[in-house]
Structure 1
């Protein structure tokens, strides 16, 4: 499936998620979107593996993702959300020191999937945290502390959900590969078919990132300034479990000094 077709399919899943009031259905649509992104990524990786070096062969790229303008509140947790999504989609990230931009390293299709997922989930995160603060349930904790904790927990839960969906999609692909009658092991007998392609893709991405990234130090994000609020974290986690997907454009930003997100 091409990147364009994948985005059209993901868009359809997002619209279905937006149209349902059932949180279980919404979660199913979200996981389906991630599985589609993973399956497409695997298909294209297999295609790249069979493309002659004499032909035009897709390579990893670096892309700037605009998060917000300098001085806008909340950018650190916005970055954390994007990084959590990227981690489930074979995309590595560097972050501008003021959190206005993320620089994504990966294949075009994988970065496209990250942007599509981020666009819908960012709106969900902001709206749900605003509703939580408006309810007053965070008191006596300060609003800024509650917001940071809420949104950090939301991003973490989203990352876990997407990673789970990704693992399921990869396991399904590996099982299908193993069941093929013509499945063949690698020369050393350790890997076969899709598993070998996924390993080679990861090596290629790692090499590209090391050659291309100019990041220095580690981006600590909201973790550097957030006090702790158990109530806000529990609320953010619940919202992350129930999140549905929608559409929204990224916010504008500017390129600045980069750092690597802490793992």
Structure 2
């Protein structure tokens, strides 16, 4: 497991994000948490490249519960986890019913991913609840591709219907997850670029090579250990597409304030690659 002091520092940054009403401060604290996680990950990658004892550390697989079978919207929860995982060098397999994921990577990176997810999933749900309660979605429509058989030949057409609460929620949460992924990936890439520049003047301390070796180790481990079949396709668009709900979700993702972690339980099923 990653050092408890590091996770405590990450949790402290997330609490600071939660405690501010300023959206720019909230974003700064959350991205600082990601940069801290990335910096620690880089330090460990460099250590593995030069320290024989650290080199014996290998990737692991960990199952993380997402929700109970039958709960609507689990795919958007998974989408959020996957977005965070990708920013932290984690490969993910997804249960066919989206009740859990298997995360493949170095233990410390999975710890950081779980900490960020536990905070952000609550914020995502709270933000989508507030959007629905506002009633703003009621004046909007959803676009859905349907099969039209009323003419001589069958064709696919776009049908516009009133935006239902579930379609509004799914579009909102999908856009929220995408925005969070972009923000965390930006913070990660900036931290990596700084670390690579700083190591350029230190002979024998190639951060870039260490990070590449780490990536290969995770990919190889996932390839050897994964039993997943097929490809996870993300949140389903079958309910319809709403630009308005997605704009609202994207805005909430930009503003995201972090709330207390919430425990979600789930059941095991078949896996898909993601």
Q: In structure 2, the residue corresponding to 1:144 is in which secondary structure? A: helix
Q: Could you tell me the TM-score, scaled by structure 2's length?
A: 0.88
1:181-216 CA distance string (max 9 Å, x none): xx24xxxxxxx6100100111111110000000010
- Asked if 1 retains the 8 angstrom alpha-carbon contact of 2:47 and 2:55, the reply is no
CA distance in 2, matches of 1:141, 1:16: 36
Contact kept, 8 Å, 1:31 with 1:161, in 2: the verdict is yes
For residues 159-198 of structure 1, the aligned pairs below 5 Å read: 159-180=181-202, 183-184=203-204, 193-198=206-211
Query: What is the deviation of 1:34?
Result: 0.3
Question: Of 261, 267, 271, which residue of structure 2 is paired with 1:248?
Answer: 261
Deviation at 1:143, TM superposition (A): 0.8
Runs of 4 or more off by more than 2 Å in structure 1?
A: 223-226
1:222 matched residue in structure 2: 235
Q: Which residue of 2 aligns with 1:237?
A: 250
Unaligned residue ranges in structure 1 (runs of 5+): 185-191
Shift of 1:226: 3.6
1:39 positional shift: 0.3
Shift of 1:3: 3.0
C-alpha distance in structure 1 between counterparts of 2:91 and 2:49, whole Å: 21
Report the CA distance between 1:155 and its aligned residue.
Answer: 0.1
Closer, same or farther in 2 for the Cα pair 1:120/1:98, shift >3 Å? same
8 Å Cα contact 1:100-1:253 kept in structure 2: yes
Q: Distance in 2 between matches of 1:160 and 1:250?
A: 25
| Worse-matched range after superposition: 102-111 or 135-144 | 135-144
Moved more, 2-11 or 122-131: 2-11
- Which ranges of structure 2 fall in alignment gaps of 5 or more residues? 139-161
Larger Rg: 2
Q: Which has the higher strand share?
A: 2
Quote how far apart the aligned CAs of 1:79 are.
0.4
Counterpart position of 2:40: 40
- What's the offset of the Cα at 1:179? 3.2
Alignment of 1:59-78 (within 5 A): 59-78=58-77
Question: Structure 1 residues 56, 193: closer, same or farther in 2, change over 3 A?
Answer: closer
Q: 1:201 aligns with which of 210, 214, 218?
A: 214
